[in-house]
Structure 1
Amino acid sequence: MNGADALITTLADNGVTACFANPGTSEMQFVAALDREPRMRSVLCLFEGVATGAADGYGRMTGTPACTLLHLGPGYANGAANLHNARRAFTPIVNVIGDHATDHRKYDAPLNSDIAALAAPNAIWVKSAESADAVGPLAAEAVAASFGAPGGNACLILPADSAWNETNTAGPVIERPKPRAPDPAAVAAVAKALKASAKPVLLLGSGACGEAAITAAGRVAATGVRVLTDTFTGRQARGEGRFRPDKLPYFGEQALKDLDGVDLMVLVATTEPVAFFAYPDRPSVLVPDGCATLTLSDRATDAAAALQALAEALGAPATGAVEPYAPAAAPGGKLDAWAMGAAIARHMPAGGIISDDAVTAGLPIFTQTRNARAHDWLSLTGGAIGQGIPLAIGAAVACPDRKVLALTGDGAGMYTVQGLWTIAREKLDVTVVVFANHAYRILGIEMGRTGGGEPGPAASRLLDLGDPRIDWVAVAGGLGVPAERVETAEAFDEAMARAMKGTGPRFIEAAMR
């Protein structure tokens, strides 16, 4: 076998069986080796940002890494934005980044770059396999690193000659590390502080929003402690039969108003909340004056076990309150995010997965789906828009028996619109909804909040997407996805019903203006 064979065999032996790829010349040995390893599913993505976002979605839904195949430094750079989001979600990913042959680097060919330096800001592990014998062992090491506390993307740089040279060395099968057990002293200290607090809150991060952790948090809430989540979490179990925590508001002043009077904030798999951006004369840290903070468990600790231990220490009831299924009434009239949220809640089946890149439309839909059938919500953890379509691809590959919805703004959707082609090619059961307001609506809001005032003609041209208007139905159809445009709440409700009853790729342009 050659180094590429050793790499793919080692990945597959360690449970990495999906590869989201945009290969180039340096990666041809890897591509050829895929024909010799039937356990690895290869998914072609026409832009590296689609590949990295898809790997993020796959990892969020399975808890195990997919791999990406990226072409040298520029290929990695094209995918970096969604790796930033994955870093903030603590998603395990193994990035295989092709490089020039080791003896070719010295010539500084046009695609030559410092790949390790490019990858370092988003990665928890970066190494280069400088020989074929090193490839397999480093591949196993990369998988192990991706599971590290609390998880993240590992980058294995693969020089072309390390891939084509022969080797007899495959990597070992690694033992997946387990999260740290909760600290009994921390549990006792938090329980004592909660009992003495007049107005406490529990703040849950991404690692504390899975079904087991949410269930335990519901028990804690039953003792009178208010429970919130971070504004954006990697994956949250919600809907019918699940406890519903509140969400920390996005805008800093709204968050501080919501937390007014809180004297104790207990952090679970998160850190002290901060504003998304700085604004004139507004605080950055979103902890009220006089509020103490305690950490129940950090991101490397088993959050579900910590919350269960806390519930026991507080003498909480065996179960907490959970949401009933309560579908909204059929929406009518004006097509807005509230009406669309009602339609989604009415028609999304149990086990649905929502990939949220909807920006201004996201919160109303999140609110409207609180009583929908049980589902998972994947948020834009790093704030780099263009995640919605790619994340849905990865979720659909990971969970082929579940309905996946990608909710995206028209501005965000254009970042990674190439993903529609992959959805069509792989025949994924993904419904993409684009909220076509033909503007960067969030930037219009932020213009005022930052003190920029009302946008004039020049500023408005940087916020407007209506000249020319994007014909989303034509775009989606040209990339192979059946598409329709709807202009009323009733029409959207009917389109969503069709999409949820059918299977395969669907695209709905919600014409909001």
Structure 2
Amino acid sequence: MNGAESLIQTLVDSGVEVCFTNPGTSEMHFVAALDEVEGMRCVLCLFEGVVSGAALGYAAMAEKPASTLLHLGPGLGNALANLHNARKGNLPIVNIVGDHATYHLQYDAPLTSDITGIAGPVSHWVHSSAAPADIARDAAEAVQQAGIGQIATLVLPADVSWSDNPSGAAAATRKVQPAPVAADKLHKAVEILRDDRPTVIMVGGRNVSEAQGVKLARLAAATGARLLTETFPVRIRRGAGTAVIDRLPYLAELAIDTLKGTERLILLGCASPVSFFAYPNVPSVLEPEGCDVYPLAGPNDDIDGALDSLLQAFAAGSEVVPLRELQVPPAPSGPLDANSAAQALAHYLPENAIVVDEGITSALACFPFTSAARAHDWINLAGGSIGFGLPAAVGAAIACPERKVICLEGDGSAMYTIQSLWTMARESLDVIVLLFNNRKYSILELEFARTGARGGKPGPKAASSLDIGNPDMDFASIAQGMGVPAVVANTAEDLNAALARGVAEAGPLLIDARVPPLQF
């Protein structure tokens, strides 16, 4: 058994069963080992940003890490944006990054680079295997380090990969359990919640589940606290049968207004909220001045256990709370715009779907429109770096092949990782891509105005840099060229028919929804 074979066997034995890959010469022995070791599904992606984004989506839904296979420092560099998103979302990933043979590094070949330096800002753990006998042990450590919500990057020199490993595979790792919240912290939270000062409980992190939402609603009802989610929790269960929880608005001014009057802020799985960007005359910190912020549990802590303890303290474990009742709006008719598209989505959204949201401005209405739709999971962009939606849909569909995935995608952000469509076709993934084609970087038009640059009004050169309609992009043709069936929707009726088709049929479908840009 060579080093690569022992590495893959260790990953599989430890529950890492999917590898999103874009290999090069240094990784050929890893690629060869895929045919020698049973149990690893290899998913080829045509760009490293798709590799890392797919691993993100997989981790969000499978609640365990996938592995990535990346080619040297440049390949890792191409993956950084979605590794950043995964890190901000506290999602587990095991990166395998090939490197030159140990004896070849001294010659500074063209692709030689500082892999450790590149990996550091987006990894919690970075290690390079020095010998074939070490690689399986190092792989097990990488899985252990990834744990619940970390990124582990293991560098695999080519000669370590191809040489014999006399030790074979390492013992399987045990799943990392969330850390219990200390009793004194829970006692302090009880004291805060017994106080009559205005208190907000804010929850976020990897997964606000249906059961967790009900617990939170019971706690809020028993204590009088107000309940919010952070702006972009990675994953949240929504729709009929779920608790009513509002989310903190994205715009800083609206978030400040939402938190106005709050004197105590208890955090579960999320950090204290700050403005996404700095704006003239707008505070960076969103809670009111003088508000006491209490971080009760981090994203890797046992949030459910903490909630159980708090519910017991208030004898609220069986508190009856209102849950969202199913409300499916009628299918829209007439012109197609952001609102009618959101209404169509809410009408056709199937039971237990997974919605990946990178629709940017055109999808703003989709979140409120679907609040009481059929029950579903909603995946948000936690790290803010665009180009996550299409690959995250790939990963989610591989993690949950029995569920329909609907990716809400903006036209500008789609072009960052458009290669995802090819992987959807190749793997026959059950994904509807609802692509909002407004031929604008509308979010940047909004931000241009909010920053006050040039008085908030772009000149001709600035306007040109925010306009992606010259030439117009034909996404239906792009999708079909990558093997994904596609339709164009110009009216609400067109979109209704396309969504009905996508829900009824298995496999990928792209809907090129021609919508006007929002006016700010």
Contact 1:188 1:313 in 2 (8 A): no
SS of the counterpart of 1:221? helix
Q: Give the drift of 1:304.
A: 1.2
Report the counterpart of residue 378 of structure 1 in structure 2. 379
Contact 2:49 2:80 in 1 (8 A): yes
Report the counterpart of residue 404 of structure 1 in structure 2. 405
Q: Give distance in 2, aligned partners of 1:84 and 1:212.
A: 29
Q: Give the drift of 1:317.
A: 5.5
1:188 aligned onto 2:187? yes
* Higher mean displacement: 287-296 or 445-454: 287-296
Q: Give the drift of 1:449.
A: 0.7
Contact 1:206 1:236 in 2 (8 A): no
Report the counterpart of residue 369 of structure 1 in structure 2. 370
Q: Give the drift of 1:242.
A: 1.1
Structure 1 segment 266-345 matched on structure 2, within 5 A: 266-316=266-316, 318=318, 319-345=320-346
Q: Give the drift of 1:258.
A: 1.0
Q: Give the drift of 1:269.
A: 1.2
* Higher mean displacement: 398-407 or 223-232: 223-232
Report the counterpart of residue 211 of structure 1 in structure 2. 210
Q: Give the drift of 1:289.
A: 1.9
Contact 1:186 1:295 in 2 (8 A): no
SS of the counterpart of 1:145? helix
1:233 aligned onto 2:233? yes
Contact 2:397 2:405 in 1 (8 A): yes
Report the counterpart of residue 264 of structure 1 in structure 2. 264
Report the counterpart of residue 161 of structure 1 in structure 2. 159
Report the counterpart of residue 245 of structure 1 in structure 2. 245
Contact 1:187 1:313 in 2 (8 A): no
SS of the counterpart of 1:381? coil
Q: Give the drift of 1:166.
A: 0.4
1:487 aligned onto 2:485? no
SS of the counterpart of 1:222? helix
Q: Deviations over 1:390-445 (max 9, x none)?
A: 00000000100000011110000000000000000000001111100101000000
Q: Give distance in 1, aligned partners of 2:436 and 2:484.
A: 17
Letter in 2 for 1:323: R
Q: Deviations over 1:306-360 (max 9, x none)?
A: 1222222223251422111110122122322222222122212211001111111
Contact 1:222 1:321 in 2 (8 A): no
Distance 1:40 1:11, change over 3 A: same
Structure 1 segment 163-182 matched on structure 2, within 5 A: 163-169=161-167, 170-182=169-181
Q: TM-score, normalised by structure 2?
A: 0.96
Letter in 1 for 2:203: L
SS of the counterpart of 2:19? strand
Report the counterpart of residue 502 of structure 2 in structure 1. 499
Report the counterpart of residue 475 of structure 1 in structure 2. 478
Q: Give distance in 2, aligned partners of 1:72 and 1:139.
A: 17
Q: Give distance in 1, aligned partners of 2:253 and 2:180.
A: 36
SS of the counterpart of 1:42? strand
Q: Give distance in 2, aligned partners of 1:129 and 1:327.
A: 55
Q: Give distance in 1, aligned partners of 2:364 and 2:187.
A: 35
SS of the counterpart of 1:270? coil
Q: TM-score, normalised by structure 1?
A: 0.98
Q: Give distance in 2, aligned partners of 1:189 and 1:320.
A: 25
Contact 1:126 1:154 in 2 (8 A): yes
SS of the counterpart of 1:109? coil
Letter in 2 for 1:160: A
RMSD, aligned α-carbons:
1.2
Q: Give the drift of 1:503.
A: 0.8
Q: Deviations over 1:433-463 (max 9, x none)?
A: 1100101000000001111121111001110
SS of the counterpart of 1:206? coil
1:428 aligned onto 2:407? no
Letter in 2 for 1:74: P
Letter in 2 for 1:40: M
Report the counterpart of residue 387 of structure 1 in structure 2. 388
Q: Give the drift of 1:296.
A: 2.2
Letter in 2 for 1:164: W
Q: Give the drift of 1:274.
A: 0.4
Q: Give distance in 2, aligned partners of 1:225 and 1:332.
A: 41
1:81 aligned onto 2:81? yes
Report the counterpart of residue 145 of structure 2 in structure 1. 145
SS of the counterpart of 2:422? helix
Contact 1:6 1:171 in 2 (8 A): yes
SS of the counterpart of 1:279? coil
Q: Give the drift of 1:362.
A: 3.1
SS of the counterpart of 1:510? strand
Uncovered stretches (5+) of structure 2, i.e. residues with no partner: none
Q: Give distance in 1, aligned partners of 2:483 and 2:506.
A: 15
Matching residue within 455, 458, 468 for 1:465 = 468
Report the counterpart of residue 255 of structure 2 in structure 1. 255
Letter in 2 for 1:455: P
Report the counterpart of residue 121 of structure 2 in structure 1. 121
Q: Give distance in 2, aligned partners of 1:135 and 1:264.
A: 49
SS of the counterpart of 1:415? coil
Structure 1 segment 71-110 matched on structure 2, within 5 A: 71-110=71-110
Contact 2:207 2:234 in 1 (8 A): no
Q: Deviations over 1:162-220 (max 9, x none)?
A: 00000122222111121112223222222221221332111112146123322211211
Q: Give distance in 1, aligned partners of 2:102 and 2:304.
A: 46
Q: Give the drift of 1:259.
A: 1.1
Letter in 2 for 1:201: V
Q: Deviations over 1:50-104 (max 9, x none)?
A: 0110011111111111001000000000011000000011111101000000000
* Higher mean displacement: 169-178 or 395-404: 169-178
Q: Give distance in 2, aligned partners of 1:345 and 1:372.
A: 6
Q: Give distance in 1, aligned partners of 2:61 and 2:177.
A: 18
Contact 1:197 1:264 in 2 (8 A): no
